Amino acid sequence: MTSAAIRLEQVTKTFDGRVVAVDAVTLDIAAGEFFSLLGPSGCGKTTSLRMIAGFEHPDSGRVHVGGRDITDLPVHRRDMGMVFQSYALFPHRTVAENVAFGLRMREVPKPEIGRRVQAALAQVALTGLEDRKPSQLSGGQQQRVALARALVVEPPVLLCDEPLGALDRKLRQQMQFELKELQKRLGVTLVFVTHDQEEALAMSDRIAVMNKGKVEQVGSPTEIYERPRTRFVADFIGEINIMEDAGVSCALRPEKIRLMPLDGARLAGKVETANYLGGSTLLRIRAGDGRSLLVRETHAGERASRAPGDPVGLGWNDQDTVLLEG
């Protein structure tokens, strides 16, 4: 399967002439990349995806795929696969008929349709379920049917709009691994919309964090988590401590803070709360200067020794603090 690079160039989209959904966004997505658009509801991530797909037309700016300007191309000529949160399966058609739908619309010869449907179902581990209806499938199986239907037309680009949002947590995590492995095996360019920070960090090659129609930061999961550029990104991605000093804001992750004896500690305080999370405990510490800090204490299965009311010393390295913009 081939893949294609995507470029959004100063793309803007407004609704009702007033609401700016996407504001002069420029993004470069490499061919074969798993690229996530991450942000809260209303940040512009789904509108950006819909402009790539052709469901929305930008007010200004251009959309390029594979080096070709497709801004004015209709949806059916963009040669992309798309998977929605609702799956959008035909309830009265079988699994095989659902998967074959796009091939029939393209008037692919019947023998080839059968071969490609079987191959697509094998890719998503659904061989043997060809004759079932969607109502006879689990949520995870329905998700796989939607993926097979998108992939069977062999698109260079696959667009996914919160496709795992309707699944329970355990199944969602399983599907994250499966989708990532499938994308790498096929080499398709995948653009993935999500509001789930853990999901984006686990699956993506790179992430664009969006807020109020703008891109706050683009980077690898490690860069986004370890070196957030703005206060919004720091706050949005995982737990964080924001420390203010003389008008300057710095971010410090809870796992970067060490618990230590009071003698020689950088800061002293008392444990306010201790939330046991299995392999770690998230402590909220009230420091002597009034600040409230989160500290993640890791351990091997046993509860941490710290309890509310315990005095603790805190230490950290200066290089672990990140200077924030805005």
State the pTM of this model: 0.89
CATH architecture entry for 239-323? Beta Barrel (2.40)
Asked if CATH classification 3.10.450.50 holds for the domain at 6-226, the reply, yes or no, is no
Question: How would residue 1 be classed by pLDDT, with cut points 50, 70 and 90?
Answer: low
Q: Domain locations in the chain?
A: 6-226, 239-323
Average pLDDT over residues 121-134: 90
Question: Does residue 2 register a pLDDT over 80?
Answer: no
Cβ contacts of 225 within 8 Å, gap of 6 or more = 201, 237, 238, 253
Question: Does residue 262 register a pLDDT over 80?
Answer: yes
Cβ contacts of 46 within 8 Å, gap of 6 or more = 37, 161, 162, 193
Percent of the chain with pLDDT over 70: 98
Average pLDDT over residues 126-142: 91
Question: Does residue 87 register a pLDDT over 80?
Answer: no
Question: Does residue 59 register a pLDDT over 70?
Answer: yes
